[in-house]
Chain A
Amino acid sequence: VKTDAYILIGFFCKDLSKPKTIENVKANAEHIFKEFGPALSRVAASYAPAGAEREDLLQDIALGIVMALPRFRQECSLRTFVYRIAHNRGLDHAWKRKQKRQRGIDTPAKGEDATDLVHCRELSPEQTTDNRRKLEQLSQALRKLAVKQRQVMTLALEGLTHAEIGEVLGIQENNVSVRLHRARAELKTALGGQNG
């Protein structure tokens, strides 16, 4: 109830039309996006194929961070906070997408898995073609993993330790090891299949 009241006060009293509030939100958010922008892009890549869908998800993640920022109590690191929001938004997106597909509202575009090859603007120009192809294969293979494994694997690829992954996801370290082991085996199979 206390949190509800706090959020309600936020809705009505922290008026976003006030220039000072906008500037504060912008300044904090800009700092976060500067520091975590590439990592957020990669999280989005693990939930949505390149193009408009991924851009929408990324905007949604950014919006989630901006909305949740006033309630950040520094009980965890800013990185943990940002990753949590990004993965929660990613799961929501993946679940909505799956439901739409099931109802036939949203059908996969022809050759959707290959869209990463077309939308290469998120890749730096100096990357070689081979590197680019490998990266595309990796993000496609990641999107095929079950969400729990995908989350562990993407965080591991970001260079987080088992303890840090456990903190972000809210699971024990030994559970991180189990999920990572399974994710790795499946990723290896998927990448092997794509290469073959």
Chain B
Amino acid sequence: MDNELQEWSNLWQSEKENDMIKMIHIGEKLSKVRTQQKMQIALIWVVGLGLALNPLRYFAQSGFSIENIVFAGFMIPYGIGSAIWYTRRLLRVEKTMSQNPDAHVGELQARLEQSAKLNKSWWSLWTAGIFSIGFIGWIMTRHFEAYSRAPMISLGIIGAVLAILVGSYFYQRYAIGKSEQALREFEELVGES
């Protein structure tokens, strides 16, 4: 270490005060954090199991019909899967606490990049759009007589679907801009390697 760095180091290490870490506060905070985590995990699993077990009600009511099987085929993996996903997300904070800081920077950056990538993916918007238009078109064709008698209601429905699509487009633009800006700011904060 040369003179300049040694001088800074001596100055830096002249700060020796150690009265700011109060064990009583740490104990209180730790108990509070643990209680919160337990409550969150319990809530996540109550909701997840509630969703997964919900289709059983329909099986009891109307037996193993094809609709009930399809419904259960969706709800059971969704309920259990979301509970596992949220639990792992909650535990990730704890797991990454003692990783090396370079990996920590990389992980935060990867999360922001993933968020930007997700916002940029158009398939969700177009799938929703095609599905909505197809569904409305199908309903209207099926009940053409009823809809032709109420043109204003029909126009209202078409208008609402279009408004949702246009709204989704602009929201997506906003979300893309926001996530890209967050990524730029993070890169600015951490600097180059």
Residues of A within 8 A of B (CB): 3-4, 7-8, 11-12, 16-17, 22, 25-26, 29-30, 33-34, 37-38, 40-42, 45, 54-55, 58-59, 62-64, 66-68, 71-72, 81, 84-85, 87-89, 91-92, 94-95, 98-99, 102, 121-124, 127, 131, 134-135, 138, 145-149, 151, 154, 156-159, 168-171, 175, 179, 184, 187-188
Contacts and interface: CB of A to CB of B under 8 A. Distances in A.
Mostly helix, strand, loop or mixed at chain A's interface? helix
Interface in B82-109: 87-88, 91, 94-105, 108
Contact of A26 (B27, B31, B99, B101): B27
A97 to B, nearest CB: 9
Given A45-B15, A88-B97, A156-B9, A62 B21 contact: yes
Nearest to B98: A68
Mostly helix, strand, loop or mixed at chain B's interface? helix
Contacts of A26: 23, 27
Contacts of A8: 41, 87, 91
B12 interface: yes
Contacts, number: 181
Contacts of B91: 3-4, 7-8
Residue in B37, B94, B99 with the greatest tally of chain A CB atoms within 10 Å: B94
Given A71-B98, A72-B98, A58 B21 contact: yes
B102 A159 contact: no
B123 interface: no
B44 to A, nearest CB: 12
B161 interface: no
Contact of B11 (A30, A87, A138, A151): A138
A129 B5 CA distance: 21
Given A63-B26, A157-B9, A149 B38 contact: no
A92 B92 CA distance: 14
Interface string B46-66: 000000000000000000000
Nearest to A157: B12
A77 B7 CA distance: 27
B186 to A, nearest CB: 7
B105 to A, nearest CB: 7
B34 A7 contact: no
Contacts of B186: 95
B152 interface: no
Contacts of B15: 38, 41-42, 45, 122-124, 135
Interface string B101-141: 11111001000000000000000000000000000000000
Given A67-B33, A67-B94, 19 more contacts: A3-B91, A40-B21, A42-B13, A59-B21, A68-B94, A87-B104, A88-B96, A88-B97, A122-B17, A124-B15, A135-B14, A148-B190, A151-B101, A169-B100, A169-B101, A170-B103, A171-B193, A175-B193, A188-B4
Given A40-B21, A66-B26, A147 B191 contact: yes
Given A8-B41, A11-B38, A147-B191, A59 B25 contact: yes
B13 A135 contact: no
A125 B20 CA distance: 16
A11 B12 contact: no
A170 B102 contact: yes
